[in-house]
Structure 1
């Protein structure tokens, strides 16, 4: 089977190479904004018009012939073409209701460009070749396996990075373990496993919140676009980067541990976007408990539940395992002993006590057990099969069958 994997390294360009990379990133940003403006004008004139990458790519040579845009010829053609492909993908995601309408790019935000081919990698000498930029040294922290498919160069906090995507053939993995576990996601406990273990939350944003507020207030007191304002802005960006790096590092360690020790993982199919919606409401119908809901939304987004699931998905596939997503409805209100479902079963955030049989346990652990049994119900509905682990689709979700948990097993209705 083919495995796509990305490796990210910090680049160490000289002064001339840094200027060239800033020039290429600026050209890509200009082409993206110009193409987006052109599409908006065409769409306003005719609402039925449809655009494609081919239409935009045919405009690129015409723009280069413009005497005022001769500087576009100094940049490699491939990154400019890839920028137009990114715009086409953004439009498709918008019309498919997967993302918001494409916005114009701003200098200093997500400056990047991508090479689909023509790049070379010299790992022995810790350098890589990028068209029209030459050989650039990088911090070689690990070995790159597979053939290089594309390279994305990005700028963040005064440093340049290169993300190298590779492709290689690997044997179909077989997981060394046969363990099956259910996971309940939470805030007081980041992840509770059905075997009784749990992962404590990192709360990287909460830890840095006071420092971030202090830095933002200092920036607000500076004159905008002054040198002191730029220094204060860089300090704010460093804090944000520290928050994101700590969260990603924690999620990678947690998902690696789980994927190596369990062949099948059942997880709740949480809709994080809906769970973290604002409760402020409108002027006519104002919301209730807005402050409390705002704090809850902040805590939910600080956990990184979607990234946790995404990492589990591909890491289990690499190890020969499987991820099953089940509906989260009533997982924390169902008694795993008698199957009674009631809101009163969960007396508090951490305590579960069945009003029918008196069963008591930690509420998160009860949720993890019910998630595990729901995963078994999915298998019983023949939506997944252990014989296909690591071969077919890795994440399974469906609302076509209902289930009820009982003390002796699962009764599929």
Structure 2
């Protein structure tokens, strides 16, 4: 089977290469914003949206136009990839998978992508990569890059440039090993496993919150876009980068350990976006307990629940395992002993005590046990549903398949 995998490294460009990369990222941002403006105007005028091929014809006119001759300095393929990104964003919006695409802002997610592997050369022996109109760039070679190069993405974060090299390689079909486990997510406990293990939260943002607050206050006292303001902004960006790096490192280590030891993982199908929505309301209908809800939202987002589930999904797939998402309804109110469901079974946030049979354990552990049982039940239902299907390999409309 084929495995696609990306490897990210820090770049060590010289001054000329850094200036060129800033220009290329700015050109891609300009093309994306111009194309988005065209799409918005056509939509307001009642016209259909332009497809990728039609946007490429506009790109050719912009590159040859007298107003934007500097677009020719940037390589063509990254500019076309910016249009593909816009096309994908529009498709996701009309499919109700994402919000409406927004205009890109300078200094936020600056990046560009080379899609043609024929134009890319990777010299791992000397720790360098060749990219069109940039030449050879040295990168911090921290690991081997296996497989054939498919594309390369150059991005900037907190003042540093990075290269992400996506490769494809054939691997043997994995055989899953280990048992099944259910995972209950929480705030006090980041994750509680049904086998009794518990992962303490990292609270990366909370650890750096005071330092970030002082840096942001210092930045607010500087004249905007002045030299001192730029220095203060870079300091704030470095703190944010450290917070994100620490969180990703923690999540990668936790998910790798879980996936190495289990063939099936059951988790709650949590809607993190809805759970972390603001409770402020408006003037007509103001919200209640706004401050408490704001603190809860901050804690939920600091844990990285969505990223945790995303990493579990692809790492289990690499190892031949499966990730089962079950409904979170009553997982912490159902007694594993007798099956009694009641809100009174949770006298406190951490204690579960069944009012019917007296079964008592930590509430998060009870939730993990119920999640595991729900995952087993769903897998059994999928197997029986597949056995009743009229033909092998067909998918009936409305079937609740795990691979969706």
Name 2:165's counterpart in structure 1.
164
Structure 1 SS opposite 2:107? coil
1:59 equivalent in alignment to 2:67: no
Name 2:44's counterpart in structure 1.
44
- Point out where structure 2 has 5 or more consecutive residues left out of the alignment: 387-392
Name 2:353's counterpart in structure 1.
353
Tell me, yes or no, if the aligned pair for 1:280 and 1:288 is still in contact at 8 Å: yes
Name 2:294's counterpart in structure 1.
294
Residue 385 of structure 1: CA displacement?
10
Structure 1 SS opposite 2:287? coil
Tell me, yes or no, if the aligned pair for 1:35 and 1:56 is still in contact at 8 Å: yes
Tell me, yes or no, if the aligned pair for 2:267 and 2:326 is still in contact at 8 Å: yes
- Point out where structure 1 has 5 or more consecutive residues left out of the alignment: 387-391, 401-413
Distance 1:383 1:398, change over 3 A: farther
Distance 1:385 1:171, change over 3 A: farther
Residue 178 of structure 1: CA displacement?
3.0
Name 1:196's counterpart in structure 2.
196
**Deviation readout 1:226-258 (Å, 9 max, x if unpaired):** 111111111111111111000000000000000
Tell me, yes or no, if the aligned pair for 1:379 and 1:385 is still in contact at 8 Å: no
Tell me, yes or no, if the aligned pair for 2:184 and 2:365 is still in contact at 8 Å: yes
Residues paired across the two proteins, number: 390
RMSD: 1.8
**Deviation readout 1:282-336 (Å, 9 max, x if unpaired):** 2121111111111111111110001000101111111121111111100000000
Name 2:75's counterpart in structure 1.
76
Name 2:342's counterpart in structure 1.
342
1:126 equivalent in alignment to 2:127: yes
Tell me, yes or no, if the aligned pair for 2:332 and 2:363 is still in contact at 8 Å: yes
Name 2:147's counterpart in structure 1.
146
Superposition map of 1:8-407 within 5 A: 8-46=8-46, 48-117=47-116, 118-175=119-176, 177-382=177-382
C-alpha separation between the residues in 1 aligned to 2:319 and 2:260? 7
Residue 382 of structure 1: CA displacement?
2.3
* Worse-matched range after superposition: 222-231 or 139-148: 222-231
Residue 100 of structure 1: CA displacement?
1.8
Residue 66 of structure 1: CA displacement?
0.9
**Deviation readout 1:174-197 (Å, 9 max, x if unpaired):** 12x331111000011000000001
Tell me, yes or no, if the aligned pair for 1:378 and 1:384 is still in contact at 8 Å: no
1:7 equivalent in alignment to 2:7: yes
C-alpha separation between the residues in 2 aligned to 1:321 and 1:202? 26
Distance 1:384 1:67, change over 3 A: farther
TM-score by length of 2: 0.93
Name 2:389's counterpart in structure 1.
none
